[in-house]
Amino acid sequence: MTKPLVKINNLSKRFPKSNGFALNNINLEICTGAITGLVGPDGAGKSTLIRMIASLLLPTSGNVTVNEFDSAKEAHKIQSIISYMPQKFGLYEDLTVIENLNLYADLKNITGNEKESQFKRLLKFTDLERFTSRLAGDLSGGMKQKLGLACCLIKTPQLLLLDEPSVGVDPISRRELWTMVKELVNDEMGVIWGTAYLDEAEKCDDVLLLNEGNLLFQGKPDKLYERVKNRTFQIQNIEGSNRKVLTTALTNSKVIDGIIQGRSVRIVTREESVFPSTQEIDSGLDSRIVKVAPRFEDAFIDILGGGPGGISLLSEEMLNIPEYKEDIINVNCLTKAFGDFIAANNICFSVKQGEIFGLLGPNGAGKSTVFKMMCGLLKPTNGTADIAGYDLRTAPGEARSKLGYMAQKFSLYDNLNVQQNLNFFAGIYGLSGRKKHKKIEQMIKIFDLKQYLETSAGDLPLGFKQRLALSCAVMHNPPVLFLDEPTSGVDPITRREFWVHINGLVQKGVTVVITTHFMDEAEYCDRMGLIYQGNLIAIGSSDELKNSVRSEILPDPTLEDAFIELIKAENLQRQALK
Amino acid sequence: MFNRIITLIIKELLTVWRDKKSRMILIVPPILQLIVYSYAATLEIKNVSIGIINEDTGIISRHIEDRFYGSNTFSKIYQLQHKDAKNFIDTQKGLLIIHFAQDFSKKILNNEPGNIQVILDGRKSNSAQIVMGYVSEILNQYNLDYMNQNNLPKQQSSIIITRNWFNPNLEFKWFMVPALMATISLIMGMVITGLSIARERELGTFDQLLVSPIHPFEILIGKTLPGLIIGLAEATILFLIIIFILKIPFTGSIFLLYLSLCIFLLSVLGVGLFISSLAKTQQQAFLGAFIFMPPAILLSGFATPIENMPSWLQPITLIDPLRYFMFILRGLFLKDMPADIVMTNLLPLLTISIVTLTGSVLFFRRRLE
């Protein structure tokens, strides 16, 4: 029998010195026997809610009870029946796996036979038996998370709180982690799984959808799909540019949202079964529109009132990039070794002008290393990388103005205001006087930054931070744009807005290189390289990669399926070589 | 290029100024340090407690005692018994004990030399020595007066009268405050540049700078000049406080002061940038700065004269930029140091700044690889 475990009534949380509510009037109930997905973009209030359930934060108003204990008055009792795994679990990197387990067992007062049997069970469960004497700091991202989970489970809790356990973990470990938690759930135990991956939410038994502190939806994922039933279609077999088709489709009044999926375009319509004709969206004679299953994200966008439209003011104002006949990016046998550790091993590929090329892989696989070597931020141990004919490490400074760069987490000067940031980036790219003034005005107009000119970049809402970062990166009309995990953790609307601009720029001839571990983002790429443990194990378009793993068991693989299969195959091959 | 450097400088000054925390760090601690240390960092001994064991019943020891009571060096004088003496010193109730033997007055009145025993606390050797000096001065003075009164033949034929040049009243503050100004300038210079590159690394903006057309050399200039501007402004504030609030005379040339200040700051900024380009985080940069600062201060002659250091250590002080600047500042404040002596000391300082700045350029470029 499942039973209600967590009850939340009219809960609000407001942090001192902040304008809005981190959580706004939340009411919900969480039961045992289910994985409850707490889904939402960064800054939605997921961590705040989890920490309030763990009674680490006090409510501004309303209340939280766990197993009838009030979080404000009986924090101690709550903490004795829950386990909380924060985003970065407190593993001691200088202790071995078993020493970490011992430490947490001692902290939870588990000793003797109970400890032994529990360790045995957990190590088997997490598949860490072989690594008990390895330092926690030397484990891979996925194994660290598993060890963290094991430490949380030393004393079986009634409620397990997991705050984004799968961020940055490779897809195989992600699935394993999921299966492990799935096995744990029983009538005596509830799990809350916080995540920014919307596809992960689809697998949860129950879903709480948070956005900007508001609870948008609570219930089974299926119920959410009802909203977008018969409204999701894929335009296949497109003739010509799929990006143009997307742009046209998004301007059509029947369509509220659309994204690129490899060569195809996926749309969500305003009404059931009313979709534009292939002529209307100009997708060619052979193209066809096929109904596809709805996804979690479709519903999310629908709740938020549809996507941002398809017109990029930025690309309208941008100059055409002169044609470049040869491959604009050439990466030749790049290798980087840090001591004994080979972070990137003999990586070769090239990118044509106007292409979006993705470097994909889990955290620590080496994609950032390759990326940094390409931008000239890191010296390769071996090999070269040419951008538009220049090796950026040795080329004169002016060659670097061919490059636009946007780093992960938007590296802006946090305590300078928007105007000052724009001035600064215009200045270092050599713009001055009237030209600079005009360009900045243009950026303010395109990205609608006027209302925030005096706001410090650090205090901007996430979406505007992204806009500012992009405007700083493209102000000097670079032919090549490097984006390092540009939209990880942002909400789907902001992500779409970003990609509208990128698509627009690509149509003007800009070449884009991005790194990502989001499969959704990878779908936007024309071609991508999968990097795993320092090696480029596959390269091709999303359709090519999917086709390469298509089989009877997997008739319609997703990109993530493709990656998992490719990584598995790579692992098998390596074992065979040993 | 000029334009880009200006952009960098404006950015740097703005980031410091717009951040409430760094604004506070730059303004409050230096002023507090200057004022507090100028009173606290003193080697003068005042308010000492001493003990007297007087087993003599005669008049002479009473007279001498009165002199001690009359002196304002000793805040408290305890009358002790013989048996209390050990405990008195052990528990650090007082620094020294003066012991008059039973026959002290008798001996003096018989025109024999009388002995006074002084017991000092050797654990505080420095203070004890200084206080002992005061004690002998009082005793000598009494001796002299006694001989005058009784028309005894004087043993001393000449009397020394001291005049202290440059610092007539031997005000310790006059000696200490210029040194403090030098030390605080060092600390601030290290903090400004030490943290700046590391902060940008943490923010991720550093990569952003490196992929832009800016030359690494320009980045360094863009880091050094704002440091220099802030350091000069900072030193000016300290200087004004020293002159108008602490009222310490400045006898030298303002031009030479600022010239030396610039060269000194450059050498410090070079060290700061060097540490900064090594460090990955602000924390590391801070630790690095704190490894550099204590030896730099100790070896500069801040509190202990370089001449007193062992001979093998003295050459090491030659690479300490603070040593030269401290010397120049003390000279400019107290004795209107002439330009040629300032220049002889600026030359090594200039060499140090060239070395540290080039070093940081080279290291900075190496780190990119």
Which domain CATH number covers B58? 3.40.1710.10
* B214 at interface of A, judged by CB pairs closer than 8 A: yes
Q: Tokens 């001493």 map to which residue?
A: B50
Q: Determine the pLDDT at residue B366.
A: 66
pLDDT digits (tens, 9 = 90+) for A362-373: 777 788 889 888
Contacts for B91 with CB less than 8 Å, ≥ 6 apart = none
Based on the domain organization, do B298 and B257 belong to the same domain?
yes
Residue B217 lies in a domain: yes
Q: Residue B48: name the closest of B92, B112, B106, B110 by CA.
A: B92
Q: Which residue has the higher pLDDT, A286 or B348?
A: B348
Mean pLDDT over each residue of chain A, to the nearest integer: 86
- Look up residue B73 and give its DSSP letter: S
B56 φ/ψ angles, rounded to the nearest 5 degrees? -90, 140
Pairing state of beta strands A382-387 and A329-338? antiparallel
> Range of B98's domain?
48-149
Based on the domain organization, do B314 and B361 belong to the same domain?
yes
A212 φ/ψ angles, rounded to the nearest 5 degrees? 45, 45
A20 neighbors A12 (Cβ within 8 angstroms): no
Residue B58 lies in a domain: yes
Confidence of residue B158 (pLDDT cuts 50, 70, 90): low
Based on the domain organization, do B207 and B352 belong to the same domain?
yes
pLDDT at B70 over 90: no
Burial class (CB in 10 A: 0-12, 13-18, 19+), B35: middle
Residue B237 lies in a domain: yes
> Where a domain ends, among B114, B149, B184?
B149
* B7 at interface of A, judged by CB pairs closer than 8 A: yes
* A375 at interface of B, judged by CB pairs closer than 8 A: yes
Based on the domain organization, do B244 and B358 belong to the same domain?
yes
Based on the domain organization, do B293 and B254 belong to the same domain?
yes
> Where a domain ends, among B120, B149, B178?
B149
B212/A429 Cβ within 8 A: yes
pLDDT digits (tens, 9 = 90+) for A90-138: 788 889 999 999 999 998 888 888 888 888 888 888 888 888 888 888 7
A216 neighbors A303 (Cβ within 8 angstroms): yes
Residue B160 lies in a domain: no
pLDDT digits (tens, 9 = 90+) for A409-444: 778 888 899 999 999 999 988 888 898 999 999 899
> Where a domain ends, among B149, B183, B214?
B149
**Each residue of A354-363: b (16+ CB within 10 Å) or e?**
bbbbbbbbbe
Based on the domain organization, do B232 and B145 belong to the same domain?
no
Based on the domain organization, do B103 and B57 belong to the same domain?
yes
Based on the domain organization, do B137 and B22 belong to the same domain?
no
Based on the domain organization, do B52 and B35 belong to the same domain?
no
Residue B161 lies in a domain: no
Chain A: residue whose CA lies nearest to B218: A428
- Of the candidates B11, B205, B368, which has its C-beta nearest A411's C-beta? B205
ipTM of the prediction: 0.76
- Look up residue A321 and give its DSSP letter: P
Return the minimum-mean-pLDDT range out of A374-378, A463-467, A486-490, B281-285: A486-490
pLDDT digits (tens, 9 = 90+) for A143-163: 888 888 888 888 888 999 998
Question: Between helices A112-126 and A171-184, what is the axis angle to 10°?
Answer: 140
pLDDT digits (tens, 9 = 90+) for A254-270: 888 888 888 888 888 88
Residue B71 lies in a domain: yes
* B2 at interface of A, judged by CB pairs closer than 8 A: no
Q: Determine the pLDDT at residue B312.
A: 92
pLDDT at A467 over 60: yes
pLDDT digits (tens, 9 = 90+) for B249-258: 999 999 999 9
Residue B353 to chain A, least CA–CA distance (Å): 27
pLDDT at B1 over 80: no
Which neighbouring-strand residues pair with A405?
A482
Contacts for A517 with CB less than 8 Å, ≥ 6 apart = A168, A360, A361, A362, A363, A485, A488
Q: Residue A414: name the closest of B192, B19, B26, B6 by CA.
A: B19
* Interface mutation target, options A415, A474, A488, A513, chain B, most CBs of B under 10 Å: A415
pLDDT (average), residues A64-84: 88
pLDDT at A473 over 70: yes
pLDDT digits (tens, 9 = 90+) for A291-324: 888 888 888 888 887 777 777 777 777 777 777 7
Based on the domain organization, do B34 and B81 belong to the same domain?
no
Based on the domain organization, do B74 and B189 belong to the same domain?
no
Q: How many domains is chain B built from?
A: 2
Amino acid at A71: S
Q: Determine the pLDDT at residue B369.
A: 53
Based on the domain organization, do B76 and B8 belong to the same domain?
no
pLDDT (average), residues B182-192: 89
Residue B157 lies in a domain: no
A239 neighbors A227 (Cβ within 8 angstroms): no
Q: Which residue has the higher pLDDT, B126 or A28?
A: A28
Residue B163 lies in a domain: no
